[in-house]
Amino acid sequence: MSGGDRPPVGLVTGGGGDIGRAIALRLAQMSDAVAIVDRDETAAGAVAQLVEKAGARALAIRADVSSARETAAFVEAVETRLGPIGIFANNAGIEGVVAPLHEYPDETFDQLLQVNVKGVFLGLKHVIARMMQRGTGAIINTASTSAIRGRAGLAGYVASKHAVLGLTRTAALDVARTRIRVNAVLPGPVESRMIRELEGQARDSAIALRRSAAIAHGRPQDVASVVAFLASDEAAHVNGAAWVVDGGMTLA
C-alpha cells in the first residue's frame, strides 16, 4: 500500500478480462480510485462502470502494454487524473496456441514474449520509476503455474511465464531497500475465457492440458483475493514471492 492518509490508487492491466475484472473489483474495496488498462476499450469501460458502482472512482484506458510509448502514457495519465499509484496489478497476458514444440509457430512465440514478457517489464519499469519517488507501493505480476513447470503444447506461454517469475524476483531485489514490494501470483486453471479457449484447442490437438481432473478450476475472485492480500500491509514483509493459487493442482 502507499501509506499516508490517502487510500492508494490501484491500477490493473488486462483489467477488461476475467481475472483483471475480479482484481479491479477487489481493488475498488481497498482504493478510492482504480484505473483499468486494456487493449479492448469496450471491456475496460464495462469494468470501469462496475468499479464506479462499487463506490470507487474509475478510469478506463485503451493501451497496448507491449508498447513502451503507450505504457509511459497510461502511467502518466493515471497519476495525473487519479493520483499516485499505490497498487499495480501487472496482469495483462495472452495464451497463444496449443501445438507441440516442433510445430509451434515462430510468430506466436514472438507475440507471447512481446506481450507477456516485454509488457510486464515495461509496466514494472514505468510504475517502479514513479513509486521510487515515494519509496512505497505494491506490485503483483500475474504469472501462472506455467512459471514453475512444463506444459505440453504451450512452449511460448510456459517460456513467457517463467520469464515473468524471473522479472518478479529481479525487480523485488532492485527495490528491496525501499518499501516497494514486487510479488507474483501463480494461478492454476481458472474458470475463464482463456482456459476455455486453451482447453478447446487442446481437445482438437489431442494434447492433455489438465494434470488432475480431481481438482476443480479456480474462480477469478480466488486469484483476486490473493492479489488483494499481497497488495495489503498484511503482506508487508512478503517480497519476490511466487504465490501459487491452484487448489493444489501443481502438486498432483
Structural contact between residues 211 and 218, judged by C-beta atoms closer than 8 angstroms? no
> Per CB under 6 A, which of residues 98..157 are in contact with ligand NAD?
115, 119, 142, 144
* CB 143 to ligand NAD: min, Å: 7
Residue 64 — φ and ψ, nearest 5°? Answer: -100, 115
- Site stretch for ligand NAD (CB under 6 A), options 24-32, 91-99, 122-130, 201-209: 91-99
Kindly give the interhelix angle for 119-134 and 68-81, rounded to the nearest 10 degrees. 40
- Site stretch for ligand NAD (CB under 6 A), options 130-138, 184-192, 207-215, 226-234: 184-192
Q: For the chain, give the longest Cα–Cα distance.
A: 55
Residue of 88, 109, 121, 157 marked active site: 157
Q: Which residues are CB-neighbours of 38 under 8 A, at least 6 positions away?
A: 13, 14, 15, 16, 17, 20, 44, 47, 60, 61, 62, 63, 92
Return the residue matching grid coordinates 515473468: 164
Catalytic annotation present for 157: yes
If binding means CB under 6 A, how many residues of this protein chain bind ligand NAD?
A: 29
Q: Which residues are CB-neighbours of 227 under 8 A, at least 6 positions away?
A: 23, 26, 89, 140, 142, 185
Structural contact between residues 160 and 104, judged by C-beta atoms closer than 8 angstroms? no
Work out which of 7, 50, 54, 64 binds ligand NAD, going by CB under 6 A. Answer: 64
Q: Which is nearer to ligand NAD, 66 or 168 (CB)?
A: 66
* CB 79 to ligand NAD: min, Å: 18
Name the amino acid, one letter, at 144: S
Q: Does 40 bind ligand NAD (CB under 6 A)?
A: yes
- Site stretch for ligand NAD (CB under 6 A), options 38-46, 124-132, 171-179, 235-243: 38-46
Q: Does 32 bind ligand NAD (CB under 6 A)?
A: no
Q: Which residues are CB-neighbours of 79 under 8 A, at least 6 positions away?
A: 9, 85, 130
Work out which of 10, 96, 156, 187 binds ligand NAD, going by CB under 6 A. Answer: 187
Given the rule CB under 6 A, which residues bind ligand NAD? 13-14, 16-20, 38-40, 43, 64-66, 91-94, 115, 119, 142, 144, 187, 189-190, 192-195
Could you give the residue numbers annotated as active site?
157
